[in-house]
Structure 1
Amino acid sequence: MADSSSPTAAEIVASIRSKKTTAVSAVRAALERAEQLKDLNAFIILNRDGALAAAAQVDEGKKTGPLAGLPVVVKDNINTDDMPTSGGTPALQNARPTGNAPSLQKLLDAGAIIIGKTNMHELAFGITSTNLSSFAGPVRNPYDKTRIPGGSSGGTSAAIAARITTCGLGSDTGGSTRVPAALTGTVGLRPSVGNGGAQRRYHDANMVVPISHTRDTVGPMGRTVADVALLDSVITGTPMAEAEPLRGKRLGIPAAFWSGLDRDVEAVARAARAKLRDAGVVLVDADIAGLFEQNAKVSFPVALHEPIDDIAAYLKASGIEGITLADIAAKIASPDVKGAFGAITADAFGAAYQDAITVQRPALQKMYETYFHDNNLDGILFPTTVAPAPAIHTEKGSGEMSINGDEPVPTFDTMIRNTDPGSNAGIPGLSLFAGMTPGGLPVGLEIDGPVGSDTKLLALGLSIEGILGSAPPPKI
């Protein structure tokens, strides 16, 4: 049930390998489409010369690998040694790290070709990707250019949804691969982070412009689950996930995650749920009492305290000299991000941090462990976001939104409600396509699992996508 008009990443690589097409033609087509759709603001920089030179090496047999010739996009907070890494913020616009982030390096070693660095919510501190930096601008949703694509990895998701590339890299702190995947009809994986060390699936410390070492992770994004599974396999050096039978699989349905939904999102998500039940999935109605309240004791104290040391460590490790946290904060262009950095530079959550990290976060993790264990679950199923893509508001970079005509609520808090708790607990999550609203906007469905269950989540995702299908191309 995949979109037959758009080849998967594996199909593109196979076509290049069999000489049915060339890497140069694949890369050139991606670059040309990016130029044609530049009004999406999906890119901060295109890598025209570098990408075509790399493609020529593939065609000449000088570069091989399981991704040889595959065009990919990379979020502009992930270090690249041949292009600036701006984090979408003025102070870092021309910053040039001394090396590639390890997850990206794995893709490059496998023959992938970066066609450009993608736009994002400034410094990844938001979920709209309405970046008000003069060199970036707001990213637009390919399904409706007046609406956000989600964030903070909005440029990567917009480029994939617009069929510029099949896949690429984003990063996720509180939902930044999954929220944009949901709003653009694509797929986003937040890999396991756990308590770090062996529990962390991807290892990119100090090589991605940071928010929080406890919460941050690079994550693969793609048009299909297969695209994401392929990138994950290359990054981890493990066998690619394969679809598993759904019959008998047990997925938790926590009521809190299914409450307060936009009517269209609820209708699409419940219809998807019914299809899974018909396929033999056992849906377990069991709530996680007090989860959102417990998450609130962790979220801001971690995300607004750790940047103080983490940004300094990143600048040093990346060889970026002459720029400090204060310099970055002083030049922030987006009002919502400037407000967050006011709290960071004042260390407004410093007093709450130790309790959050040593008491409240372990308690949150225990809630998830107990829920999975006591209900014998393979995963948790819920709508990734409570509403489809809201309109772009350029006044603040974030703004407010209304659900079902009710009083306006903060867009940031509303759109990360379902993705943030799993982020703080360090568990993996996969957002995939559930269906379209009557107004033509994509809806995402997320599966979360215990720490270390990433491959199993991808296997479930492959099977679920086989039932629900993938998103139709946007009419652009």
Structure 2
Amino acid sequence: MTWTVDQQLELSATQAVEAIQAGQLKAADYVATLLARAQALSNLNAFTVLDVEGALAAAQRIDALGASERARLPLAGLPVIVKDNINTRGLQTSAGTPALEGFLPARHAPSVQRLVDAGAIILGKANMHELAFGITSTNLAPHAGPVRNPWDPERIPGGSSGGTAAAIAARIVPAGLGTDTGGSTRIPAALCGVVGLRPSVGDGGTQRRYHDPQAVVPISHTRDTVGPMGRTVADVALLDAVITGHGPLSPAAVTNLRIGLPAPLWEGLEAALEDVARAALAKLEAAGVTLVPVEMSELLALNDRVSYAIALHEPIEDLAAWLVANHAPAQTVADVAARIASPDVRAAYDAVLADARGGDYHAAMTVWRPRLQQLYAQTFSASGLDALLFPTTRLTAVPIDELNGSSRVSIDGAAPIDEMEAYLRNTDPASNAGIPGLALPAGLVNARLPVGLELDGPAGGDRRLLAIGLAFEAILGTLPAPEI
């Protein structure tokens, strides 16, 4: 079979692996097609590094295997993009910040290694919000610059995993890895019309689904996690299965599902976005899903007591430990902070270095975070819920602010609010509770800007959440390629 360029670009990760394993598509041809696509769409600024020689050489090694050998590789020949704060051996890991530019780790992060061992090919490193401390991916560092949304290059792709999401949506690559601290896989997935998973973190020990110690440039050991992203839920489930060692997954039976709608996360939405989200609810309900309104009136207040107390305190020790463990070129957090290029990130690190919320940290960890986790557990249990469902973000993608990296936004003419807080409101509580979240497309506003829905599940319920996502995707569909 001869695959045209357009056919190759429309392959999902699952379809691409099947074609390569069957010998219908050469991995080298597929990689060459995607590299050409990446170069043609360089204006999106989705990559910090494009590994042309390395990717082609890896593809040729896959093609040299026998059919039975390829069949044993669950990701045989699959090109992936890896966010630039995740360690990759011999490939830059800079976290989009000048102090780490050109840094080459000695080893892959464990999640990356499992993908590579399964036959995946790293096409390159994804641009991102500097140090992952933001939700726009408007990186003002000279070597990185802002990532642009494929649906409208004048708008943000979301962040901090904006490069990963933009590359996937633009058909440069079918899948990849981001990271998520407060919403960094799910927000860009929503704004770019793709799928993103935040795996369980739970207590950070046995409940942590992905274990990547000292292998990701950190913000918070309590909240950080690597997360897979793709164009379909099946693609994300495939990467998750490889990373965790699980087998194939079947869609959940929709007629048995009870899905909670948390009231605080359905309030204050952009009207056009809410219309798309509620139309999606109507499709789910028509298919047999039971939708259950839940109050969770304490949710946002509890989250506020947890979020910044952790995010502005933990980088002091966590980033310092990563720098030492990886023999990074910068030796201290102060060294990194001194060279930060983006004004919004510089302000955040001023607060970090001053330990502005250090006095709140103990209570956040010992009182308020447990109460937030208890609220989720009681909500799932009392209402017999399989998951919670809500719009991933309160508003669609806004224009890029190339002067400041982040600004203030107005939702339907209301008083302007901080851009980061506006986009984090719905994703942040699950991060602080350590539970899994899955963002998937709900539709488009005016056929031009994606809207995402998020499913949150109980801690450790990642497989069930992905099964529900598979069922919902069959009802809601996926988005077409943006017109670029």
Indicate whether the TM-score tops 0.5: yes
The aligned counterpart of 1:208 is 216
Deviation for aligned residue 1:349: 1.1
Q: Confirm whether residue 157 of structure 1 aligns to residue 140 of structure 2.
A: no
Q: Which moved more, 1:38-47 or 1:11-20?
A: 11-20
For residue 318 of structure 1, report the CA deviation from its aligned partner.
1.7
Residue 183 of structure 2 corresponds to residue 175 of structure 1: yes
Deviates more, 1:466-475 or 1:235-244: 235-244
Question: What SS class does the counterpart of residue 352 from structure 1 fall into?
Answer: helix
Counterpart of 1:41? 45
Letter in structure 2 aligned against 1:173: T
The Cα of 1:439 is off from its aligned counterpart by 5.1
Indicate conservation of the 8 Å contact 2:100/2:330, yes or no. Answer: no
Instruction: Give how far 1:321 is off.
Output: 4.7
Q: Distance in 1 between matches of 2:330 and 2:361?
A: 29
Counterpart of 1:299 (choices 307, 329, 340) is 307
1:438-459 CA-partner distances (Å, limit 9, x unpaired)? 1510000000000011011110
Residue 84 (structure 2) aligns with: 76
Q: Identify the residue that residue 32 of structure 1 maps to in structure 2.
A: 36
Work out which of the residue numbers 22, 39, 57 in structure 2 matches 1:18: 22
SS in 1 for 2:255: coil
Distance 1:6 1:104, change over 3 A: same
Percent of residue pairs identical: 58
User: Within 5 A, what are the aligned runs for 1:385-396?
Assistant: 385-396=393-404
After TM superposition, the structure 1 = structure 2 runs for residues 243-282 of structure 1, keeping only pairs within 5 Å, are 243-282=251-290
Q: Which residue of 1 aligns with 2:357?
A: 349
State the distance in 1 between where 2:248 and 2:378 align: 29
Indicate yes or no: 2:413 matched with 1:405. Answer: yes
Q: Displacement of 1:17 after TM fit?
A: 1.6
Tell me which amino acid in the other structure corresponds to 1:12: A
- Matched-pair contact (CA < 8 Å) for 2:100–2:329: no
Structure 1 pair 417–99 and aligned structure 2 pair: CA distance change class (3 A): same
Instruction: Give the letter aligned to residue 35 of structure 1.
Output: Q
In structure 2, distance between residues paired with 1:199 and 1:21: 39
C-alpha distance 276-13 of structure 1, shift in aligned 2 (>3 A): same
Q: CA–CA distance in 1 between the matches of 2:468 and 2:381?
A: 18
**Whole-Å separation in 1 of the counterparts to 2:433 and 2:113:** 27
Alpha-carbon offset, residue 296 of structure 1: 0.5
CA RMSD of aligned residues (A): 1.2
Pairwise mapping of residues 326-475 of structure 1 onto structure 2 (< 5 A)? 326-438=334-446, 440-475=448-483
Deviates more, 1:289-298 or 1:7-16: 7-16
Cα pair 1:99 1:318 within 8 Å, conserved: no
Question: How far 1:360 sits from its partner (Å)?
Answer: 0.9
Residue 248 of structure 1 and its aligned partner are, at CA, apart by 2.6
Deviations 1:377-402 (A, max 9, x none): 00000000000101101121111111
Query: 1:241, CA displacement in angstroms?
Result: 2.1
> In the aligned structure 1, how far is the partner of 2:103 from the partner of 2:314?
22
Structure 1 runs of 4+ with >2 Å offset: none
Partner residue in 2 for 1:195: 203
Among 228, 241, 244, the alignment partner of 1:236 is 244
Shift of 1:298: 0.4
**Partner SS state of residue 81, structure 2:** strand
Report the Cα offset of residue 424 of structure 1: 0.3
Distance 1:338 1:99 in 2: 29
Contact 1:91 1:323 in 2 (8 A): no
> How far apart are the structure 1 equivalents of 2:103 and 2:32?
27
Show CA shifts across 1:304-345 (max 9, x none).
100000011111222325522111000000000000000011
2:154 is paired with a residue of what secondary structure?
Answer: coil
Question: Is 1:54 aligned to 2:62, yes or no?
Answer: no
Counterpart residue number, 1:290: 298
Match of 2:235 among 227, 234, 238: 227
How far apart, in 1, do the equivalents of 2:248 and 2:88 lie?
Answer: 26
Letter in 2 for 1:292: L
Whether contact under 8 Å (2:263, 2:294) holds in the other structure is yes
Q: 393-402 or 118-127: which moved more?
A: 393-402
Structure 1: runs of 5 or more not aligned: none
State the Cα deviation string for residues 53-74 of structure 1 (Å, max 9, x = none).
Answer: 1111001118741111111000
1:138-163: CA deviations, max 9, x gaps?
A: 10000000100000000000000000
**Structure 2 Cα separation of the partners of residues 345 and 236 of structure 1:** 36
Residue among 152, 171, 174 paired with 1:166: 174
- Contact between 2:435 and 2:456, CA under 8 Å: does it hold in 1? yes
**Which residue is 1:8 aligned to?**
12
Q: Is 2:331 aligned against 1:323?
A: yes
Say if 1:255 and 1:287, in contact at 8 Å, map to a contact too: yes
Q: TM-score, normalised by structure 1?
A: 0.98
The residue type equivalent to 1:163 in the other structure is R
**1:240 positional shift:** 2.5
| 3-state secondary structure, aligned to 2:237 | helix
CA distance in 1, matches of 2:334, 2:31: 39
* Pair 1:350–1:170, CA change in 2 (3 A): same
- Which residue in the other structure is 2:126 paired with? 118
Which of 423-432 and 358-367 deviates more?
Answer: 358-367
| Matches of 2:330 and 2:16, distance apart in 1 | 42
Counterpart residue number, 2:3:
none
Counterpart of 1:290 in structure 2: which amino acid?
A: E
Residue identity in the other structure for 2:462: D
- 5+ residue gaps, structure 2, are 1-5
